Amino acid sequence: MEQLKILVVDDESRMRKLVKDFFSVKGFTVVEASNGEEAVDVFFEQKDIVLIILDVMMPKMDGWETLKTIRKYSQVPIIMLTARGEERDELQGFDLGVDEYISKPFSPKILVARVEAILRRSNSVPADEMEIGGICIDKAAHQVSIDGKNIELSFKEFELLAYFLENQGIALSREKILNNVWNYDYFGDARTIDTHVKKLRSKMGEKGDYIKTIWGMGYKFEVSQ
C-alpha cells in the first residue's frame, strides 16, 4: 500500500505512540499533534493528510473546535476519540461532520480496521482486491477464492462477504448490514441476513467460523490467530 499519511491528535504522548506504532506496522505514515491549535497548523501545512484521529479533551483548543475549524475548509475523514462515550457527545460529533466515533479505552486493532474501512469508502485505499485469512476477494472480477480455490457465491453473498472483510473486527448490527449491503430501499426484515450468513458460512467451509454471531445484535468478521 502507498504510504498514506494520518494525523493523530491527542495531548497524551503515550496514546499517540500507541496509535502511531500500530499504524506504522500497517504501512501508514503518522504525524502527531498534542493539541488542537497544533493540529490545525500541521493539517494546513501538510497537504497530503488523508485522515485525522482526533481526541475530544485537549488543552488550548479542544476536539470540537478543531473539528469545526477543519470542516470549514476540508471534508477529510475524521475519527473522534473520547473517554466519555455519552450519546449526547456522539450526536454532537455527527452533526459537526465526524465520520466515526470511538470511546476510550479502545482496541488499536479495531481502530486500524475502522480507519482502513473509511479510507476504502473514500477511495484512498484501493478496494478491488482484498485478502484476509486466506480469503481473497476480487471485486472487479466478482470472484472469491479460499486458500487458492474459487468458490461460487450469489451476488448478495459476495457483497455480504466483501462488507465483512472491509469491516473486520467490528461488531455490525443487522440493521447496519441491511442498510449497507441491501441499501435503504430494501423493505424486507433482518431475517434475510441470517439466511444469507448461513449459506455463506456453508460455502466457506472452515473459514465460515470467521463470521461470529453476536447474539441479539448481529455479526462480526474476525480471523482466528
pLDDT at 43: 93
pLDDT at 127 over 70: no
Considering 60-69, 92-101, 112-121, 187-196, the range whose residues carry the highest mean pLDDT is: 60-69
pLDDT digits (tens, 9 = 90+) for 150-190: 999 888 899 899 999 888 888 888 888 888 887 655 555 67
**DSSP string covering 9-27:** E-S-HHHHHHHHHHHHHTT
The closest alpha carbon to 51, from 105, 98, 12, 102, belongs to 98
Average the pLDDT over 61-70 and give the result: 90
- Answer whether the bond into residue 59 is a cis peptide, omega within 30°: no
Considering 40-44, 47-51, 87-91, 97-101, the range whose residues carry the highest mean pLDDT is: 40-44
pLDDT at 119: 83
pLDDT at 51: 94
pLDDT digits (tens, 9 = 90+) for 86-109: 556 666 666 677 888 888 888 888
pLDDT digits (tens, 9 = 90+) for 209-221: 999 999 888 999 9
CA 83 to chain centre: 19
Please tell us whether the domain made up of 129-221 is placed in CATH 1.10.10.10: yes
Single-letter code of the amino acid located at 206: E
Average the pLDDT over 17-26 and give the result: 89
The pLDDT > 70 percentage for the chain reads: 87
Tell which CATH classification among 3.40.50.1460, 3.90.550.10, 3.40.50.300, 3.40.50.2300 matches the domain 5-121: 3.40.50.2300
pLDDT at 197: 95
pLDDT at 1: 44
Domain spans of the chain? 5-121, 129-221
The closest alpha carbon to 99, from 82, 78, 81, 113, belongs to 78
